[in-house]
Chain A
Amino acid sequence: MTKTQHRVWKYGDNVNTDVIFPGKYTYTIDRDPVELARHALEDLDPSFAGAVQSGDVIVAGRNWGNGSSREQAVKCLIAVGVHAVIASSFARIYYRNAINGGLLVITCPELAEVVVGGATIEIDMDEARIHYAGAAYSFPPLPDQVREIVSAGGIIAYLQQKY
């Protein structure tokens, strides 16, 4: 049951938060999922928001999510149903926001190098492996303390359970 299949949207290096979710909306759109979804990746790939399907994954190169600390850059992907972002590396605040917001983030440069847009991959969470085109790609599991927060569904849910 922890093996799941996903369609890939493929992007390059240094995709920043301004193109994931433009700064001009940050004080007017915060948690409305319809509005968040409408502007997802607006300045990177205008076709994305209309065509993405729930369960799709994004695979990208180095430094996904660099720039602003805005959480909408995580929330807008959750709003459109993105299952995970898999990247060669993540910018640190984006990585934190994803964990604390409940978006699965996987660091796997080997997969990012080979996978193509539109392909289907299989993520095996138990084995910490991704299967693609007959090959398996391992990824590092999260540190224990951090996994507690993720498995609770984000930092707010974690604190709600704890107190």
Chain B
Amino acid sequence: MTEKLLARASGNDTVKPGEIVFIEPDVILSHDNTAAIAKTFELLPQARVMHPDRLAITLDHAAPPPTAMHAQNHARVREFVRAQGIANFFDVGRGICHQVLCEEGIVGPGMTLLGADSHSTHYGWLGAFSAGIGRSEVAALWATGQLWLRVPETMRITLSGKLNAGVATKDLTIRLIGKLSSDGATYMAAEFDGDGIAPLTPDSRAVLTNMMAEMGAKNACMAPDAVTWRWLEMTLRRTRHDDHDARLAYFRQRALFADPGANYAARHQIALGEIEPMISRPHSVDNAQALSELPSTAVDVGFIGSCTNGRLEDIAAAADIARGRRLNKRLIVIPASSMVLRDAAEAGYIADLVDAGATIGTPGCGPCMGVHAGVLAPGEVCISSANRNFRGRMGEPSAEIYLANPAVVAASCIAGRLIHPAELTG
């Protein structure tokens, strides 16, 4: 599937793993780093972006800006957007780039995206090719519309059966990364298939493709199915009043699927029924352990949010745990987008969480990468629904970050130690 997507994007009939091709991505993503990229772009002879309609820019990583320097950085991004006539610009408060670009129908089945963000693997849940690149490369893409890529080998990961109650795709993802390690798919495409995909909700599918970045993958994807199309139809009706039908028709025409006899460099089978709640222990995502095997671990603070686990389903899971209970530890909840925030408010989840003592932040990346909105103190222990637990990730090298699914985060903030929600009701 990845080879077919790259063949089309590079104007070839077919491409082979290992081959270097120049592709023209449909979408070029950048965020707060746009200001720095624009400075690099000024070094190039091209004064104008070649295809302004292909750029998508969000302000999400330090939003709203915590310091005057960050605010000035945002001001520079807005100036660039104005000067270059970028239509797809989403200002502070709209949400995290990966969530917003899906909601807005900017990326969809069969499309290609290159982004100056390592979690750009995200869009594969819609059947797109998407990969992270560096800032200078984005400047080069703005100028020329093209970039070199090595066609990746493909790892096929076949999911079968169903996850048990109380187990989330976050647990599956941590288990997978723990098993194959943080470089288990380096330079490769991770493609998911099997009967285990159909029962997965849209919100939870994105967890899987988003976090394949933590396994080193270039991209991750799965074929669009009835669940994908239903989500797109419902979402685009809300965000694209004028052209949702035309956009859906375009996605249907662009969608690509793996050939039945496709070649794979590696194959893995995972029975979803065997997955149990998992934790990534400090300081690497592949330091995975079953929650049930973890010694009693006290926590100081919880974070629910990020492009990995800040969607409606995640906030609902936390609200279900928090409802009618009192949090004993701080819990910061940051919706991935304004649409998620609005839906969570309408469903009463925000009220449940606030009543229990949680803090709600502006839609965006929050404290995930240690800039603002809940960074950690020396020695603090954080239980987080985000995607990285590297030393210093949340701003302080002596702090410890454990990763888990959102229900485990909420339950742990009630108990004051890492627990599964079943222990609360138990």
A residues adjacent to B (C-beta < 8 A): 14, 16, 18-19, 22-24, 26-28, 30-31, 42-43, 62-63, 66-71, 74, 89-93, 96-97, 100-101, 143, 145-146, 149, 154-156, 159-160, 163
Contact = CB atoms under 8 A, between A and B. Distances in A.
A31 B20 contact: no
Given A30-B39, A63-B186, A63-B216, A71 B20 contact: no
Nearest to B215: A66
Given A63-B216, A91-B186, A101-B136, A27 B62 contact: yes
B45 A160 contact: yes
A155 B136 contact: yes
The 7 closest A-B pairs by CB, nearest first: A63-B183, A97-B134, A18-B390, A23-B369, A43-B392, A69-B118, A43-B397
16 contacts: A18-B388, A18-B390, A18-B391, A18-B392, A22-B395, A28-B73, A43-B397, A63-B182, A66-B216, A92-B216, A93-B132, A96-B137, A145-B20, A155-B137, A156-B140, A159-B140
B377 interface: no
A156 B45 CA distance: 10
Interface string B381-393: 0000000101111
A100 B369 contact: no
Given A66-B216, A92-B218, A146 B133 contact: no
Given A62-B183, A159-B44, A22 B370 contact: yes
A143 B36 CA distance: 29
A86 to B, nearest CB: 16
Contacts of A14: 182-183, 284, 286
Given A89-B183, A96-B134, A159-B140, A23 B393 contact: yes
B288 interface: no
Nearest to A154: B136
Nearest to A66: B182
B90 interface: no
A70 B187 CA distance: 18
A31 B135 CA distance: 12
Identify the interface centre among B33, B61, B118, B143: most chain A CB within 10 Å of its CB: B118
Contacts of A146: 20, 148
Identify the interface centre among B33, B140, B183: most chain A CB within 10 Å of its CB: B183
Contacts of B7: none
Contacts of A163: 44-46, 143
Contacts of B43: 156, 160
A69 B133 contact: yes
Interface of B: 20, 32-33, 36, 39-40, 43-46, 61-62, 67, 69-70, 73, 116-118, 132-137, 139-140, 143-144, 148, 150, 182-183, 186-187, 214, 216, 218, 284, 286, 369-371, 375, 388, 390-393, 395, 397
Given A67-B118, A154-B136, A159-B44, A91 B216 contact: yes
Contacts of B286: 14
A96 B369 CA distance: 21
B32 A27 contact: yes
A14 B46 CA distance: 38
A156 B136 contact: yes
A19 B182 CA distance: 16
A49 to B, nearest CB: 14
Given A69-B116, A92-B187, A97-B134, A19 B391 contact: yes
A27 B187 CA distance: 27
Contacts of A18: 370, 388, 390-393
B195 to A, nearest CB: 31
A138 to B, nearest CB: 19
A84 B116 CA distance: 24
A130 to B, nearest CB: 22
Contacts of B395: 22-24
A26 B395 CA distance: 11
A27 B70 contact: yes
Contacts of A62: 183
A23 B370 contact: yes
A97 B150 CA distance: 14
A71 B144 CA distance: 20
B392 A22 contact: yes
Contact of B136 (A63, A66, A97, A145): A97
B186 A71 contact: no
A23 B117 CA distance: 12
A160 B32 CA distance: 25
Given A24-B395, A66-B183, A156-B40, A71 B216 contact: no
A159 B390 contact: no
Contact of A159 (B144, B284, B397): B144
A100 B136 contact: yes
Given A42-B392, A63-B183, A101-B136, 4 more contacts: A14-B182, A27-B32, A159-B44, A163-B44
Contact of B371 (A16, A27, A66, A74): A27
Identify the interface centre among A26, A62, A93, A100: most chain B CB within 10 Å of its CB: A93
Contact of A30 (B36, B67, B132): B36
